[in-house]
Amino acid sequence: MTYVDGFVAAVPTADKARYIEHARDAAVVFKENGALKVVECWGDDVPEGKVTSFPMAVKCQPDETVIFSWLVWPSRQVRDEAMPRVMEDPRLQPDVNPMPFDGKRLIYGGFEVVVDE
């Protein structure tokens, strides 16, 4: 069964184009290393909650937008084998392709797919 990595972050709204470029560059690397699909979403209707919400989770500031993205892998094994190569790829090194957001506020995790209709 497929495996999914999910991500939520806050990106400076003014850096939307830079974020999309960074995401496209990263997508190439992920797909070269076995990812089946890379999806990047720019927040459009992401309400602030009273108890919890995407904006609260990433400490989104007024000049930032929440992004939600995921990678689909054939399996966790493929993902686990690919990630060291992805992280070492020169195209994703901070001096070449810096993340246009605060990585300390990035939320991520790996998920086993249990329903895929």
Quote the distance between the C-alpha of residue 68 and its chain's center: 6
Q: Check residue 65 and report its DSSP letter.
A: E
How many domains would you assign to the chain?
A: 1
In this prediction, residue 96 carries a pLDDT of 82
In this prediction, residue 47 carries a pLDDT of 96
For the whole prediction, is pTM greater than 0.85?
yes
Phi, psi (5° rounding) for residue 58? -105, 10
Give the model confidence (pLDDT) of 44-78 as tens digits. Answer: 999 999 999 999 999 999 999 999 999 999 999 99
Quote the distance between the C-alpha of residue 110 and its chain's center: 11
Contact predicate 106/58, CB 8 Å: yes
Domain that holds residue 38: 20-67+76-111
In this prediction, residue 72 carries a pLDDT of 98
CATH number, domain of 38, equals 3.30.70.100
Q: Average pLDDT, stretch 32-36?
A: 98
Closest CA to 78 of 32, 114, 109: 32
Residue 13 in domain: no
Give the model confidence (pLDDT) of 79-89 as tens digits. Answer: 999 999 999 99
Which residues lie across from 71 on neighbouring strands? Answer: 5, 38
> Residue 89: which residues within 8 A CB-CB, separation 6 or more?
29, 33
